[in-house]
Amino acid sequence: MALPKLDLTGREFGDLTVLRKDTPYRTPGGTPYARWVCRCKCGKVKSIRATHLVNGRTKSCGCMRNVYLSKLIGKTNRFEVLGECTRVFTSNSESFIIDTRDIDAIKDLYWSIDSTGYVVNVKTGKRLHAFLMNCPQGLCVDHISGDKKDNRRCNLRICTYQQNSCNRHKSPRNKTGVLGVYKNARGKYVAQIRANGFRHHLGTFATLEEATSVRHKAEQMYFGEFAGQLLNQEEKR
């Protein structure tokens, strides 16, 4: 059973009012994301990804960024060296960890944790994990453990957008406890997987165990070494 599409028309997110749906944004890996045309209180009209609106990441067209930055002038991070690992504190006492050897690379910049949980440079918006790994264009950096605040190099790996997409958490709407498996209106279990920019239907099954087995086999086929991390996340839940 397909999930109902979210209509954001007329809704307000911070200083933004949604006007209409726009054409989807596609990542370099081919994954589509819904976008909506919004009007900011300053009058500017801009197209913004739906996920950024809903999760609170984007609340204006960008006009409030200078106001936000002015409040951070003079703020610095505090570093607590713990051997080869260092814990870094923000001005509001949130923290993240890095390799001690990377202190010199980040100490002259102020880093904070954004609304999505990523560590970012407040001036440029650059995310710390991408900054540390000097990620080439067209690729991205994956947090192996799924912990966005663990930015030690042993927890970071450069990968494709497709590989990165498999290392994610289940949606809050997931009721089966298994990523990519849902129960339809007839009480059957449907398995599916998104790969190479498309959603692949894997089959409909009488039991959750059957659907889970097929889903896991598909993860191994499409994601290879990245599938193991995804399975580990499900086992922990």
CATH code of the domain containing 99: 3.90.75
Residue 183 placed within a domain: yes
Residues 80, 117 within the same domain: yes
Residues 20, 84 within the same domain: no
Residue 5 placed within a domain: no
Residue 105 placed within a domain: yes
How does pLDDT run across 19-29, given as a tens digit for each residue? 999 999 887 76
Residues 153, 198 within the same domain: no
Inform me whether the pLDDT recorded for 100 exceeds 90: yes
3-state secondary structure 113-174: ECCCCCEEECCCCCEHHHHHHCCCCCCEEEECCCCCCECCHHHEEEECHHHHHHCCCCCCCC
Residue 57 placed within a domain: yes
Round the average pLDDT of the chain to a whole number and report it: 84
**203 is written with which tokens?**
């089959």
Residue 1 placed within a domain: no
Inform me whether the pLDDT recorded for 228 exceeds 60: no
Residues 102, 152 within the same domain: yes
**For residue 3, what pLDDT is reported?**
42
When pLDDT is cut at 50, 70 and 90, the band that residue 104 belongs to is: very high
Residue 142 placed within a domain: yes
Residue 6 placed within a domain: no
Give the residue-averaged pLDDT of 132-139: 90
In order, the DSSP letters of 167-232 are: S-PPPTT--SSSTTEEE-TTS-EEEEEEETTEEEEEEEESSHHHHHHHHHHHHHHHHTHHHHHHHH
Expressed as residue numbers, the domain containing 172 is: 168-236
**For residue 90, what pLDDT is reported?**
94
How does pLDDT run across 8-67, given as a tens digit for each residue? 999 999 999 999 999 998 877 678 889 999 999 989 999 999 989 998 888 888 877 666
Count of domains observed in the chain: 3
Give the residue-averaged pLDDT of 115-132: 90
pTM above 0.95, yes or no: no
**For residue 235, what pLDDT is reported?**
41
CATH of the domain at 228: 3.30.730.10
Report how far residue 5's alpha carbon sits from residue 176's, in angstroms, rounded to the nearest whole number: 20
The number of angstroms, rounded, from the C-alpha of 76 to the middle of its chain's C-alpha atoms is 26
**106 is written with which tokens?**
């980040």
Highest-confidence range of 96-105, 164-173, 191-200, 221-230, by mean pLDDT? Answer: 96-105
